């Protein structure tokens, strides 16, 4: 199993623990991840200002992978959604493809058929499979109560994702987390957005959206949140203290990436999974399960 690893903007600069743990988990499972240094932004942040430029940016990245005959694997849900959408769109719009190729030619590239695009969590769920993942576990996470946050673009818009999971009743993350022995806790508004995209427009509204979910997760008695998108992590992990201050609340709920959680069950230690880089301290909640410093 071999993919071009698409890191996007946020992960290599702000979420190195996600990249680190994903590479560890991939290596353990025999997924070869190829780095392409020429990759640029996926185009998602440009969509609001200019859909055409966003599509060209996406197509540029896809064409780079296509040139090497590789499918793309993204760690960020927005990158996965943007790149999948470009492939979907260009497969159905020959005129747009011609226009895109006119621009790409200036950069010496050509978009032909595009490539497969997968979120890393989807690769784990669909391509590797639960039985294979479980074979590599050496430690049970029994006793840990996890609230899964699916976020939005891992599953939506559903028309581009071939229904690999259900938008209104998602279960792929729940199933993978349950493999570790941890208990998956359900909570109100599980499918709701983190509020991240509104942060640059109106901080108060954005934080209020994130706060609602933190309230629901606390209410459900979870020890930690599990998620798969760096921007969702910014909202719940990096901004948790700010939300506590703004709304006079206390949460102290660690926020883990799926790859850190699976990595723990695979026997990696704290440092190998970058658990020391998470903002909300993970040491107490994970004391039973994570060795190392």
Partner 1 sequence: MADIDLTKADPNFRKELLAQPGGEKISACFTCKTCMASCPVSAVNSKFSPYRIIRLALFGLKKEVLESDFVWFCSSCYACQERCPQGVCITDFMTLLKNLAIKAGHAPAGIKAQRNLIKGQGRIYAIDEFDNKKRNKIDLPSLPTTCEVVKLLFPES
Given the rule CB under 8 A, which residues bind partner 1? 7, 9-10, 12-14, 16, 19-20, 23, 35, 37-38, 40-41, 45-53, 56-57, 60, 99, 103-104, 106-107, 152-153, 156-158, 167-168, 191-193, 195-198, 200-202, 205, 208-209, 212, 274
Q: At what angle do helices 94-106 and 51-67 cross, to 10 degrees?
A: 70
* Closest separation in Å from C-beta 240 to partner 1: 17
Angstrom CA distances, 210 to 88, 156, 189, 202, 262, stand at: 31, 19, 11, 13, 25
Show the tokens assigned to 72: 């793309």
Torsion of Cα atoms, 198 then 202 then 208 then 213, to 10°: 10
Q: Which is nearer to partner 1, 4 or 144 (CB)?
A: 4
Q: Which is nearer to partner 1, 130 or 156 (CB)?
A: 156
* Closest separation in Å from C-beta 67 to partner 1: 14
Q: Which is nearer to partner 1, 152 or 177 (CB)?
A: 152
Is residue 181 within 8 A of residue 141, CB to CB? The reply is yes
* Closest separation in Å from C-beta 169 to partner 1: 12
* Closest separation in Å from C-beta 280 to partner 1: 20
Is residue 24 within 8 A of residue 14, CB to CB? The reply is no
* Closest separation in Å from C-beta 47 to partner 1: 6
Angstrom CA distances, 231 to 27, 77, 121, 235, 238, stand at: 24, 9, 16, 7, 10
Q: Which is nearer to partner 1, 212 or 244 (CB)?
A: 212
């Amino acid at each position: 199993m071999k993919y071009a690893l698409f890191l996007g903007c946020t992960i290599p600069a702000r979420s190195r623990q996600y990249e680190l743990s994903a590479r560890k988990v991939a290596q353990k499972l025999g997924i070869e991840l190829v780095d392409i240094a020429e990759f640029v932004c996926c185009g998602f942040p440009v969509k609001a200002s200019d859909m055409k430029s966003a599509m060209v940016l996406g197509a540029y990245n896809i064409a780079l992978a296509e040139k090497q005959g590789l499918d793309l694997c993204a760690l960020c849900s927005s990158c996965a959604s943007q790149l999948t959408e470009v492939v979907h769109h260009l497969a159905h719009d020959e005129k747009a493809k011609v226009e895109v190729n006119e621009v790409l030619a200036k950069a010496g590239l050509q978009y032909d058929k595009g490539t497969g695009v997968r979120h890393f969590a989807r690769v784990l769920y669909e391509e590797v499979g639960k039985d294979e993942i479980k074979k590599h576990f050496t430690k049970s996470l029994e006793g840990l109560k996890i609230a899964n946050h699916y976020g939005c673009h891992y599953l939506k818009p559903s028309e581009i994702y071939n229904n690999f999971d259900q938008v209104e009743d998602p279960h792929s993350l729940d199933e993978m987390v349950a493999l570790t022995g941890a208990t998956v806790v359900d909570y109100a508004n599980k499918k709701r957005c983190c509020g991240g995209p509104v942060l640059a427009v109106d901080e108060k509204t954005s934080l209020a959206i994130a706060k609602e979910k933190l309230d629901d997760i606390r209410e459900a008695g979870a020890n930690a949140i599990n998620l798969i998108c760096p921007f969702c992590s910014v909202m719940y992990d990096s901004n948790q203290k700010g939300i506590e201050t703004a709304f006079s609340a206390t949460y102290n709920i660690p926020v883990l990436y799926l790859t850190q959680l699976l990595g723990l069950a695979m026997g990696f230690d704290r440092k190998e999974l970058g658990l020391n880089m998470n903002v909300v301290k993970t040491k107490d909640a994970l004391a039973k399960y994570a060795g190392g410093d």
